[in-house]
Structure 1
Amino acid sequence: MAFRGRSCALSLLCLAVVLSFLAGPAMAKKTGQLTVFWGRNKNEGSLREACDTDLYTTVIISFYSVFGHGRYWGDLSGHPLYGVGDDIKHCQSKKILVLLSIGGGGSDYSLPSFQSADDVADNLWNAHLGGFSRGVFRPFGDAVVDGIDFFIDRGAPDHYDELAWRLAWYSRHGGKKAVRLTATPRCVYPDQHVEKALATGLFERLHVRFYDDARCSYNHAGLSGVMKEWSKWTARYPRSQVYLGLAAANVPGKDDNVFVKALYYDLLPNVQKAGNYGGIMLWDRFYDKQTGYGATVKYWA
C-alpha cells in the first residue's frame, strides 16, 4: 500500500479551479465528513498537526498490527509513542473522532479461535479504550480512542464477528464511553475478510477502498465499475454510513489518484445519490500532506 506522491499542492491556479467549481452539482449532498489514515510514515507530521489542519473530521491511527496469538502491538512507522496520547486528547477536544485501526498489510495477526477474539477484545479495551487493568501496557497513556476500525487484509476471516460482538459488549457494559466500530474493506463486494464481522450489523460506517484494485478503481474501471460495487455496498448495509475511499496520491504502476475535475463532475454526484453516503476517506495523511488533495475535496465531501 505504498504510494508515490505527486506534487499537487494548492497553488493560486488550483484555488481558482476550486472556486470555479463551487456552484456545481457536487455540492448537492455533501456531508462535510473527511476521514484520513495517519501513522504510516514518520514524515507525515504528528497527529496533532494533522488535526490542526482543520481538514479532517476523523483521523484513524494505523495500525494495531500484532494480535491473536498472545502478542499485542502496534506499528506507527517510526512515530515516537511519546506524545501521541496527548495528541489524541487534543484532536478530541477539537471534536475530531480518533479511531484505532486493527490489521493492515502485515502478517502478524489473525484470530484462530473464539478465545483469541475474546483476548484481543480484552487487550483493546484495556490498552486503548475505556478499561484499565494492572499489567496491561497502554501505549497512549490514559488517552481513550473513540473506536476500533477493522482493516483486515490478511489471514482467515474467522472470529472477527466474535471480536465485534465482544467490543460491543464492552461498549454497553464496560464504561462511560461507547466503542464505535468501523471497517475499511476493499471495494469488490463482498470483502471476505470482513464479511462475517459486517454481518453483525454493529458497524456504524464503512470506508470502502476504491483504489488499489483495477476492477473497481475509477481510473481503470470507470464510473460504471465504481458504481457497480458502490451500489452493492450501500444497498447491503443501509444502516451504515458508506465512505468513498480514495488515494491521495498514485499507487505505483496503478494510476489510482482520481483527478479533481473527474471527482467533482462525475464520481461524487453519483455516489452521493445513496441515502447512506457518509463522506470521503483518504489514504493517507503523508500523501495528502504532499499533494493537498484533501484541501481540494474537503468541501465537496
Structure 2
Amino acid sequence: MPVNAFDVSSSSNFVVYWGQSSAGSQKSLGEYCQGSTVDAVVLAFLYQFPNTKLDLSATCRTTFPNSDLLHCPDVAADIKSCQSQGKAVLLSMGGAAGSYGFSSDSDAQQYADTVWNMFLGGNATQRPFDDAILDGIDLDIEGGSTTGYAAFVSQLRSHFTSSGSKKYYITGAPQCPFPDAMLGSTLNSAWFDMVFVQFYNNYCGLGAYPKSFNYDTWDTWAKSQSANKDVKIYIGAPGSPSAAGSGYVDASTLASIVNDIRGKYASTLGGVMTWDASQAIDNSNWGAGVSSSIKSASLSMTKRRRL
C-alpha cells in the first residue's frame, strides 16, 4: 500500500469532484491524481438512474454497441493509476441537473445490485470502467424524491460485507442548511463514512463565517443523530469564484477556517471537499495551497499532542 494512501480517519484529506469541466475544460483524471495534493476523487455524475446514464463532460464519448451507456477505457486506466498512488476514487450519483430517483425501497435495492455489478466488486456484461473497481459511491441528491436511498445504502453495504478485504465507502453531499431537504432522513438512518457538506450557495456557507456558518450543527448531528458516530464531515468549498454563486474564499482564509474548526471539532473533521478539480487546481494553485496548508497544520497539531 502506498505511504500516502487515503486515510478515512484523517482530518486533512483534500477531495475533489471531477468530470464536469466546470472551468470550461478539464485535464484527465490521471493528471489530477499526480502529486500529493489530492487524496480522493469523486467522479461526476451518474446523472440518471435507475436507467443508468453517465456524464463525464466529453472526457468519454464512446458507448457500448447498441447502447447509450458510456464505455470509458481511458478513464478506467486513470482510475487504476489514481488508486495505485493511494487515492480513493468514488462515483457520485445525482447532481443538480440529473433525472433520477426510486419509486420504492425494492426499486432502490435492485439498483444497488446494479451499481455493485457495474462499478464496484460485482460482475456485469457492460461495465463503463471495465475491470476498474471503484472505492465507493457518493450521493449528491438535489432533486426528485427522497424515497429509497436508505434502502439503497443498506443493500450496497450488504455487498461490501461479503466482498472480502477491500474497503468501500459511502458518502453524501448535502447542502449546509440542516436538515438537508433531500438526504436528511437518509443521513440519520443509513451508515455513511463521510459527508461532504456543501458550504456554499447558502446562508450557512463559508462566506458567512463565522456568524452563520453552521459546522457546529453538523458536528452535533454526527455525534448524536448519525447512524455512524465516527462519520467524518468535510468542509465543501468552491474551487474558484466562478465555481459557485457564493461561498468562495481564498486559500489562506479557508486554511484558517479549517484550523479553527479542527481546534473545536477535531473528532468529526475529515478535511476539505471542493467543486471541482478543474476550478480548484487551475485557480492559481488554490487547491494545492489549501491541501498543503491543512496537511501541515494537522501534522503540527499531531506533533504537539505527542509532546
Structure-to-structure mapping, 1:117-156, within 5 angstroms: 117-133=108-124, 135=125, 137-156=126-145
Structure of greater relative contact order (alpha carbons < 8 Å, 6+ residues apart): 1
Return the alpha-carbon distance in structure 1 between the equivalents of residues 270 and 243 of structure 2: 28
Q: Does 1:296 align with 2:285?
A: no
* CA distance in 2 between partners of 1:252 and 1:129 (Å): 30
Alignment of structure 1 residues 196-275 onto 2, 5 Å: 196-213=185-202, 215-219=203-207, 221-226=208-213, 229-238=214-223, 239-251=230-242, 254-265=245-256, 267-272=257-262, 273-274=264-265, 275=267
- The one-letter amino acid of 1:283's match is W
* Alignment: residue pair count: 263
Gaps of 5+ in 1: 1-29
1:201 positional shift: 4.4
Q: In 2, are the aligned partners of 1:185 and 1:208 still within 8 Å (CA)?
A: yes
Letter in 1 for 2:151: E
Offset, 1:192: 2.4
Instruction: Report how far residue 170 of structure 1 moved.
Output: 0.7
Give the 3 Å change call, closer, same or farther, for CA 85–264 of structure 1 in structure 2: closer
Give the distance between the partners of 2:181 and 2:163, measured in 1 at CA.
30
TM-score by length of 2: 0.81
1:85-164 pair list within 5 angstroms: 85-133=76-124, 135=125, 137-164=126-153
Larger displacement relative to structure 2 (157-166 or 38-47): 38-47
| Alignment correspondent of 1:46 | 28
Aligned residue for 2:227?
none
SS of corresponding position for 2:150: helix
Name the amino acid aligned to 2:189: T
In structure 2, the partner of 1:9 is none
- The offset of 1:264, in angstroms, is 3.5
Q: 1:116 to 1:175 in 2, by over 3 A?
A: farther
Q: How far did residue 252 of structure 1 move? A: 7.2
- State how far apart, in whole Å, the 2-side matches of 1:278 and 1:166 are: 25
Residue identity matched to 2:115: L
| Cα drift, residue 32 of structure 1 | 3.1
1:58–1:98 contact (8 Å) kept in structure 2: yes
Q: 2: distance between equivalents of 1:290 and 1:60? A: 17
Q: Which residue is 1:10 aligned to?
A: none
Q: Segments of 4+ in structure 1 off by > 6 A? A: none
2-side partners of 1:209 and 1:277: how far apart?
14
3-state SS of the aligned residue for 2:249?
Answer: coil
Give the drift of 1:253. 8.2
Distance in 2 (alpha carbons) for counterparts of 1:108 and 1:254: 22
- Pick from 270, 280, 291 the counterpart of residue 278 of structure 1: 270
Distance in 2 of aligned mates of 1:73 and 1:110? 13
Name the CA distance, whole Å, in 2 between partners of 1:261 and 1:146: 31
Distance in 2 separating the partners of 1:75 and 1:123:
18
User: Which AA in structure 1 matches 2:271?
Assistant: G
Q: Give the Cα separation in 2 of the matches to 1:160 and 1:209.
A: 19
Q: CA RMSD in A?
A: 1.8
Aligned residues of 1:33 and 1:57 also touching (Cα < 8 A): yes
Kindly, what percent of the aligned residue pairs are identical?
A: 29
